[in-house]
Amino acid sequence: MAIAIDFELEDDQKAFRDAVLEFGRRELASTREDGFSRESWRKCADFGIQGLPVPVEYGGLGARPTTIVLALEALGYGSGDNGLIFSLNAQMWACEMPILRFGSAEQKRRYLPGLCDGSLIAAHGMSEPGSGSDAFGLRATAAKKGDRYVLNGTKTFVTNAPEADLLLLFATTRPDLPFAGLCAFLVERDTPGVTVGPPLEKMGLLNSPMSEIFLDDCELAAEQLLGRAGGGMAVFSSSMDWERGCILASAVGTMQRQLERCIAYAQEREQFGKPIASFQAVSHRIVDMKVRVDTARLLLYRLGALLERDQATALDAALTKLYLSEAFLQSSLDALQVHGGYGYMKEYELEREVRDAIGSRIYSGTSDLQRNIIARQLGL
């Protein structure tokens, strides 16, 4: 059933969006790939980025979903540090939101304020060497030992892990049927039996750290269970609906910046005695970029409105993730192509955005997996 959605922004939303954009330009404009910056992370926390979805009582801003996606879009436009923004998203959607929704009163009081003020960094571990898209085929086990759990296994591709203080990890009490026994645990980094591996070297998003996590007879109290025993599927699915829908909000801002940069360059750059903007091969490419960013923005704002009304579904999140990831990569490639040989040079920073965009078709569920989700939701 179709619903009417008003995309007119309120004055306070416009003001906050503009403040985020200016913050990004002023504090996060550097695109140097020097690795993760605790200083930048703290600046974001001081501004309130990590606390966007968290209620004021736990140290956050308690922002509405429509305001959150606007803010992240503005951050992507104002900042060139896609890696840092990716790490921020990974914490907010895959760690903070599960704690907020499924955590006990004590878990919320213990962890959310620190995650908001930047004194804590969190990482979410579901993927394993043998299970990626097949998330529920994981092998990590959580054996019950009295009133405690003993975890064993390996997690991989864990964003923020090299810097993380808190780990949200998934393991099963049913090795014979992992899906049925899936549990989520809040594990502090210095817990005996937890080893964080060295940083993994990636193609893009180089300022976002990633590593493996090894669990060797890691003993946890029952109070470290997030949600109920065997309720890990609900925790994971809930976080993925938020993450898939919102993790690429910043990409819409980046695509808008790419579009404006390409228009300016095409009007100034001359070949064969006239601006390259006069050639249809160039102008039509830029038109396609405009169509993509406007369509992406509409999908993003629609999802924000649905989340605000608690009407968003796995279908809405998957549609948004699929389109934004594909559009981000294609527009990044088009921006490089418009700039020709200069676009291929590192100093123009366009090749970096291509490398960053490629990952968007893989993380938080590949584009193929999103199509599977959409098809299933359509009854196919």
What are the tokens at 38?
């605790």
Query: For position 143, what pLDDT does the model report?
Result: 94
Instruction: Give a yes or no: residue 373 inside a domain.
Output: yes
Query: Which residues fall within 8 angstroms of residue 259, CB to CB, at 6 or more apart?
Result: 286, 289, 290, 293, 331, 335
Q: Which amino acid is at 200?
A: L
Query: Which residues fall within 8 angstroms of residue 68, CB to CB, at 6 or more apart?
Result: 52, 53, 246, 249, 304
Phi/psi at 222 (nearest 5 deg)? -60, -25
Question: Same structural domain for residues 91 and 170?
Answer: no
Q: Which of 121, 148, 172 is the last residue of a domain?
A: 121
Looking at residue 195, which CATH number applies to its domain? 2.40.110.10
Looking at residue 22, which CATH number applies to its domain? 1.10.540.10
Instruction: Give a yes or no: residue 264 inside a domain.
Output: yes
Query: For position 1, what pLDDT does the model report?
Result: 43
Question: Same structural domain for residues 117 and 127?
Answer: no
Query: For position 133, what pLDDT does the model report?
Result: 67
Q: List beta partners, residue 195.
A: 214
* pTM of the predicted protein model: 0.93
Q: Which of 97, 121, 145 is the last residue of a domain?
A: 121
Instruction: Give a yes or no: residue 235 inside a domain.
Output: no
Question: Same structural domain for residues 87 and 104?
Answer: yes
Instruction: Give a yes or no: residue 336 inside a domain.
Output: yes
pLDDT by residue for the chain (380 residues), tens only, comes to 445 566 678 889 999 999 999 999 999 877 678 889 999 999 999 999 999 999 999 999 999 999 999 999 999 999 989 999 999 999 999 999 999 999 999 999 999 999 999 999 999 999 999 876 676 788 999 999 988 999 999 999 999 999 999 999 999 998 888 778 899 999 999 999 999 999 999 999 999 999 999 999 999 999 999 999 989 899 988 888 888 889 999 999 999 999 999 999 999 998 999 999 999 999 999 999 999 999 999 999 999 999 988 887 889 999 999 999 999 999 999 999 999 999 999 999 999 999 999 999 999 889 999 999 999 999 99
Question: Same structural domain for residues 258 and 279?
Answer: yes
Measured CA to CA, the distance from residue 2 to residue 139 in angstroms comes to 41
Measured CA to CA, the distance from residue 60 to residue 50 in angstroms comes to 8
Question: Same structural domain for residues 130 and 181?
Answer: yes
The yes-or-no answer on residue 243 being catalytic is yes
| CB of 87 closer than 8 Å to CB of 72 | no
Question: Same structural domain for residues 40 and 70?
Answer: yes
Question: Same structural domain for residues 62 and 130?
Answer: no
Closest CA to 81 of 262, 245, 260, 208: 208
Instruction: Give a yes or no: residue 5 inside a domain.
Output: no
The 3-state DSSP class for residue 201 equals: coil
Question: Same structural domain for residues 67 and 105?
Answer: yes
The Cβ of residue 273 has, within 10 Å, a number of other Cβ atoms equal to 5
Q: Which of 160, 194, 229 is the last residue of a domain?
A: 229
Instruction: Give a yes or no: residue 4 inside a domain.
Output: no
Measured CA to CA, the distance from residue 51 to residue 56 in angstroms comes to 8
Question: Same structural domain for residues 74 and 113?
Answer: yes
What angle is formed at CA 202 by the lines to CA 248 and CA 170, rounded to 5 degrees?
70
Question: Same structural domain for residues 158 and 265?
Answer: no
Question: Same structural domain for residues 306 and 265?
Answer: yes
Query: Into how many domains does the chain fold?
Result: 3
The 3-state DSSP class for residue 20 equals: helix
Whose structure tokens read 């926390």?
A: 45
State the alpha helices, DSSP H only, in the chain: 11-27, 38-47, 65-78, 82-91, 97-102, 105-117, 232-246, 249-268, 280-308, 314-338, 340-343, 350-359, 367-377
Query: Which residues fall within 8 angstroms of residue 118, CB to CB, at 6 or more apart?
Result: 41, 42, 44, 45, 46, 50
Instruction: Give a yes or no: residue 65 inside a domain.
Output: yes
Looking at residue 262, which CATH number applies to its domain? 1.20.140.10
Distance of CA 183 to the CA centre of its chain: 22
Query: For position 18, what pLDDT does the model report?
Result: 94
Whose structure tokens read 């049927």?
A: 177
Q: Which of 73, 96, 163, 243 is catalytic?
A: 243
Domain that holds residue 151: 123-229
Question: Same structural domain for residues 108 and 185?
Answer: no
Instruction: Give a yes or no: residue 142 inside a domain.
Output: yes
